[in-house]
Amino acid sequence: MGASLANCYRQGSQRVTETMTSPLVVASQDEVSEVNFDSSMEARIKGILKRYPSPGAALLPVLWLCQDRWGWISPGIMEAVSQRLDLAPAFVEGVVSFYTMYQHRPPGKFLLQVCTTLSCQLCNTSALVDHLKQKLEIDFGGTSADGLFTLVDVQCLGACGEAPVIQINSDYHTDLTIQKLDALLDRLAGQ
């Protein structure tokens, strides 16, 4: 099993009670089959590199920057990163495949990251997961037919006291019930 990059309220995430979650901007396979960094991306990569002792140490934030820009990490993006940081392509691919927070395929507009660790399990996450799978007609790793929702399971999101917890894109939704979840998905679908 891969590993989460971080737990306690992961970097860039925020808790919300009413959904204002913005849909992800996700590049198509064709758009990122071959990638060249433009001046804006290049400036941001240079800024990251200044903060780390070696290009290898900057790999995680550079990949995160790419995912923020294109919504996922394609083979073309991995190739561009490996060339820019002068790292072996296999090393970059190994890092991307190890960490569950990197998406290897284009996700839907809303990435449903369901915590399936113990505290959430004790608060009925299994029922939420079963409901989501049935409602969206997908399994973990799948994307709904309308392209809106991708469902993944993740380890502890660091909000155990408010279990069960789902992170949708950058937002946390806590103390969930099936009714709350249905209302949330309906609002997102209607945005």
Q: Using CB under 6 A as the criterion, which residues of the chain lie in contact with ligand FES when the complex forms?
A: 115, 117-120, 156-160, 163, 165
Going by the DSSP 8-state scheme, the letter that residue 74 receives in this structure is: -
CB-based contact 117:108 (threshold 8 Å): no
Nearer to ligand FES, 83 or 124 (CB): 124
Query: At its nearest, how many Å lie between ligand FES and the CB of residue 99?
Result: 18
Q: Is 159 exposed, middle or buried (0-12, 13-18, 19+ CB in 10 A)?
A: buried
Nearer to ligand FES, 59 or 165 (CB): 165
Q: How many angstroms separate the CA atoms of 65 and 44, rounded?
A: 8
Nearer to ligand FES, 163 or 184 (CB): 163
Query: At its nearest, how many Å lie between ligand FES and the CB of residue 146?
Result: 28
Beta-strand relationship, 14-15 and 110-115: unpaired
Query: At its nearest, how many Å lie between ligand FES and the CB of residue 111?
Result: 16
In sequence order, what are the beta bridge partners of 113?
Answer: 152, 167
Nearer to ligand FES, 63 or 168 (CB): 168
Query: At its nearest, how many Å lie between ligand FES and the CB of residue 123?
Result: 8
Query: What are the b/e assignments for 91-119, b being 16+ CB within 10 Å?
Result: ebbebbeebbbbbeebbbbbbbbbbbbeb
Nearer to ligand FES, 83 or 155 (CB): 155
Query: At its nearest, how many Å lie between ligand FES and the CB of residue 175?
Result: 11
